Amino acid sequence: MSDKLIIFDTTLRDGEQSPGASMTRDEKLRIAKALEKMRVDVIEAGFPIASPGDFEAVKAVAETIKDSTVCGLARALDKDIDRAGEALKNANSARIHTFIATSPIHMKMKLRMEPEQVLEQAVHAVKRARQFTDNVEFSPEDAGRSELDFLCRVLEAVIDAGARTVNIPDTVGYNLPHQFGNLIAQLIERVPNADKAVFSVHCHNDLGLAVSNSLSAVINGARQVECTINGLGERAGNAALEEIVMAVSTRKDVFTCNVDHIDRTQIVPTSRLVSGITGFAVQPNKAIVGVNAFAHESGIHQDGVLKSRETYEIMRAEDVGWTTNRMVLGKHSGRNAFKTRLQELGITFESEEDVNTAFARFKELADKKHEIYDDDLQALATTADLDKENEYVKLVSLKVCSETGETPVAAVTLNVNGEEKPVEASGGGPVDASFQAIEKAINSGSHLLLYSVNNITSGTDAQGEVTVRLEKDGLIVNGQGADTDIVIASAMAYINALNKLMTSMERQHPQV
């Protein structure tokens, strides 16, 4: 029987480090529940010391998730480890993931520590983490550029100290597959107590090799892969969970481990959920989860698939969760049917007031759009900010005049901290005019980095899903909005981003 490959998902931690991908507590809970439904082994919920919000999010995930291990990240510092232990104390199964850099450049330029000091600090961190849980993971940051002899010494010492998982990160995506696989093989062979720990890998995608490096490591003995939904993550991202899982599942002739425990039918729904919450659209030709992943344009391909699917498809679309959008609700649907369907999609509410608010929004949508699909409901839940206390700016009304040969003008009324402000502005188009009017009222001083529009379903009455990315003083946030009127959706997205900008606190995240 082949070994189980442990799937460690860090979408909520490393994935959130993508500029503009910050998630609220409730959004993290929704994604965590989807990952649990997928039967992911470990969910890294965040970095508790980073901010009070991150602490509360990790705590909420730890208290909610029962079937997956919940992990918190901590630097090799007492305050970090203690904070992670506090956030995870009510978890059904908890893990503390602590780390310190081991490459010469990081030790000298960043830590300003000698190798012996780093070794001592690593051992101390693992022992302190063991006071909170027996499930401790240690990462030598920038292991891909660390000296092999020193790396072996550190791993042997932390395993002796009680680390049950040792994770080898290619922090800057520098390695090539044959090099990284060989590194894992050498570490397993040379570390005397290697049999007492699970070897894990965490690969970044700076050269587009995160998945390749991870799979090479698995072939050479790694039994845990750290990855994210859609490959989300800092800079160019991380190894994509969907690609890791499907590569191991599809090529059983190559891999001696398995991912049979993962519910692969949840891959596409979870991908869409993460995309909707973060505002990071999935490229059409993205492997596994892109809309074109199982599409065949060529007549030769189409003919082959019709005769025998295996001629051009090595996986079945339905195995990873691709299904036709199913109409589930309409304007005559009742509150109970609405609530039940959302629960089936993994969307739950903390109070009846929240249910009522969401149902009212659903009815508004149903008046505009006759056929309501699951993706519409996901978008509704994503864009419906039920936590009103963070709504500094609210859209009251919007009127735009756009005419051939004339400059578009937008008249916008905003509720700003309880006070209504009517404003008008012109622009290059109806959306630009709306943004100019909103900015005229708020004067945020932010810069627009991205404006993106995607249709949620097909048809001229489809909701448009808009993502707006704003930057101010180094802080980058994403805002989302969805409506059958694309101008209104755009205004909602801009306002959503402004609210995040006004309530967000800049956080410093580590790179692992």
Helix (H, G, I), strand (E, B) or coil at 198: strand
In a domain, 248, yes or no: yes
Whether residue 434 sits in one domain with residue 398: yes
Whether residue 491 sits in one domain with residue 475: yes
* Rama region for 432: left / alpha / beta (φ>0; ψ in -120 to 50; rest): alpha
Check residue 389 and give its pLDDT.
Answer: 44
Whether pLDDT at 299 is above 80 = no
Q: What is the mean pLDDT of residues 391-400?
A: 91
User: Of the ranges 177-191, 309-323, 355-369, 412-426, which one carries the lowest mean pLDDT score?
Assistant: 309-323
CA 353/CA 381 separation, integer angstroms: 14
Helices then strands, counting H and E runs in the chain, come out as 16, 18
CA 315/CA 425 separation, integer angstroms: 52
Whether pLDDT at 58 is above 50 = yes
What's 205's domain CATH number? 3.20.20.70
Whether residue 411 sits in one domain with residue 306: no
> Taking the CB of residue 160, how many other CB atoms lie within 10 A of it?
14
What is the span of the domain harbouring residue 344? 327-383
CA 460/CA 456 separation, integer angstroms: 11
Q: 310 falls in which pLDDT band (50, 70, 90)?
A: low
In a domain, 78, yes or no: yes
In a domain, 508, yes or no: no
In a domain, 15, yes or no: yes
Express each pLDDT in 220-264 by its tens digit.
999 999 999 999 999 999 999 999 999 999 999 999 999 999 999
Q: Which of 287, 307, 323 is the last residue of a domain?
A: 323
Express each pLDDT in 131-146 by its tens digit.
999 999 999 999 989 9
What's 454's domain CATH number? 3.30.160.270
Whether residue 304 sits in one domain with residue 348: no
Q: What is the mean pLDDT of residues 158-181?
A: 96
Whether residue 91 sits in one domain with residue 143: yes
Whether residue 448 sits in one domain with residue 371: no
Whether residue 207 sits in one domain with residue 97: yes
Q: What is the mean pLDDT of residues 500-511?
A: 60
Higher pLDDT: 458 or 66? It is: 66
Share of the chain above pLDDT 70, in %: 90
Q: Which residues of 200-237 are buried (b: 16+ CB within 10 A; e: fewer)?
A: bbbbbbbeebbbbbbbbbbbbbbbbbbbbbbbbbbeeb
Whether residue 317 sits in one domain with residue 442: no
Number of domains the chain is built from? 4
Q: What is the mean pLDDT of residues 415-428?
A: 92
Whether residue 396 sits in one domain with residue 454: yes
Whether residue 156 sits in one domain with residue 35: yes
In a domain, 288, yes or no: no
Check residue 130 and give its pLDDT.
Answer: 98
CA 259/CA 60 separation, integer angstroms: 27
Whether residue 144 sits in one domain with residue 263: yes
In a domain, 287, yes or no: no
Helix (H, G, I), strand (E, B) or coil at 434: helix
In a domain, 492, yes or no: yes
Q: Where are the beta strands (DSSP E) in 214-348?
A: 224-227, 257-258, 327-329
Higher pLDDT: 330 or 479? It is: 479
Higher pLDDT: 291 or 429? It is: 429
Share of the chain above pLDDT 90, in %: 61
Whether residue 132 sits in one domain with residue 263: yes
Q: 298 falls in which pLDDT band (50, 70, 90)?
A: very low
